Structure 1
Amino acid sequence: MTKKVAVEDNLSTIKQALERKGYTVVSPKSKESVMACIVMGMDNNLMDIQNTITKAPVIDAAGMTPEQVISRIESLQ
């Protein structure tokens, strides 16, 4: 599977960390198939994300460092 992750626009630090690790970062609104969707706050636009990304797990990045988010994504593989 491609290392592609959807990340909310306001999470630039996490986006940069993922890109440094070799991940492709796309918008949650894209119709692309991703391995996970990273959001800030589980109720933040969750329904739109669920409608767009049906099979990818949603990870709430609230209170997590970029390294913790990457670790969580890598544990899904």
Structure 2
Amino acid sequence: MKNIGIQKELSTIRDYLKENGYNVFEVDTTNITSNTTLKSFDALVVNGANDNFMGIDNTETKAPVINADGLTPEEIKGQIDKLMK
């Protein structure tokens, strides 16, 4: 089962992914202090309000980061499925 980290503000997407069999964990962007937290996820879903999610553009995580801005829950699930093949 895929472990997805998602920003707290994205509850609609969180609920949709849970209903579709994903392990979804809320990520408090004010509380991430190490790469260890980020490495525990297969993918991260963030809102578009902050393009540089806690310095994620230069972090050591290999997890794909999906910008949820303007996307439906179905489109985000499709991106996750495509990236996780």
Judge same fold: TM > 0.5, yes or no. yes
* 1:47 aligned residue: 55
* Count of matched residue positions in the alignment of Structure 1 and Structure 2: 75
| 2:21 match | 22
Shift of 1:9: 0.2
Give me the identity figure in percent: 37
- Which stretches of structure 1, 4 residues or more, deviate above 6 A after TM superposition? none
| Mapped partners of 2:58, 2:7: distance in 1 | 13
Q: Larger Cα Rg: Structure 1 or Structure 2?
A: 2
Per-residue CA deviation, residues 10-68 of structure 1 (Å, 9 max, x unaligned), is 000000000000101113348261111000015253416864x7110110000000000
Aligned to 1:7: 6
Normalised to the residue count of structure 2, the TM-score between the two structures is 0.74
Structure 2 residue runs of 5 or longer lacking an equivalent are none
Structure 1, unaligned runs of 5 or more: none
Q: CA RMSD in A?
A: 2.3
Report SS of the residue matched to 1:27.
Answer: strand
2:71 corresponds to which of 51, 55, 64: 64
